[in-house]
Homo-oligomer: A and B are copies of this chain.
Amino acid sequence: MSDMNPTADAPRSPGRPRSVRADEAIVEATLDLLAEGSTIEALSIEAIAARAGVGKATIYRRWPGKDALLLDALRRLKGVVPQPAGHSVRDDLVLLVGAVGHNIDPRAERIMPCLVPEVNRSPDHFQLYQNIIEPRRKIMREVLRRGVATGELRADLDIEVAMALLTGPMLVQRLLRWHPELDDRLLPERVVDGVLDGLRTR
């Protein structure tokens, strides 16, 4: 958000006001193009402008360059962090695990995989990614701790490893289509139950 100040202190600049419509259209076009498979590096201001039905100048008037625009657009994609009910640890985990890699915006599902390489390359993108997922991880961490406190989960549980165990399978499935046959809707339950109970004969 370079210089967007729609309210308050603005000294009521003269002239024609910026079109909110254009604002929205630009961000939407960016996300659409990403969702359609464009690489971050392949994404061009020109393509965005064309897709948004907007002059390039309109974009440059708002953002200094591709990176700034991208940051804004991805931020808007984040979605809402799910709030577990807090009754059953198992049910809370099913909810959270089901939310892994499953943002509200359906485009996110197509976009996130494309960000993987960037995340590995650019510290900035890595940071952005971490900022997006950290709140969700925090919630899961708290649920796990609660489980340990109530005795539902092993006392010697390594929280970080446990989170990897829970989120890993879902992410791999949704990011890489690991097993095309696996049912996405049932998977969260099966993952949570599998990890909680273990594979070994008891």
Q: Which residues of A contact B (CB under 8 A)?
A: 37, 39, 41-42, 110, 113-114, 116-117, 119-121, 126, 129, 147, 151-155, 157-158, 160-165, 167-173, 175-179, 181-182, 187, 190-191, 194-202
Residue of B nearest to A191 (CB): B165
25 CB contacts below 8 A, A to B, read: A37-B121, A39-B42, A41-B42, A110-B120, A113-B116, A116-B116, A116-B117, A119-B176, A151-B201, A153-B199, A155-B201, A157-B199, A161-B194, A164-B172, A164-B178, A164-B191, A165-B165, A165-B168, A165-B194, A165-B199, A167-B172, A168-B172, A171-B172, A195-B198, A198-B198
- Protomer copies: 2
- Chain B residues whose C-beta falls within 8 Å of the C-beta of A126 in the assembled complex: 177
Residue of B nearest to A114 (CB): B117
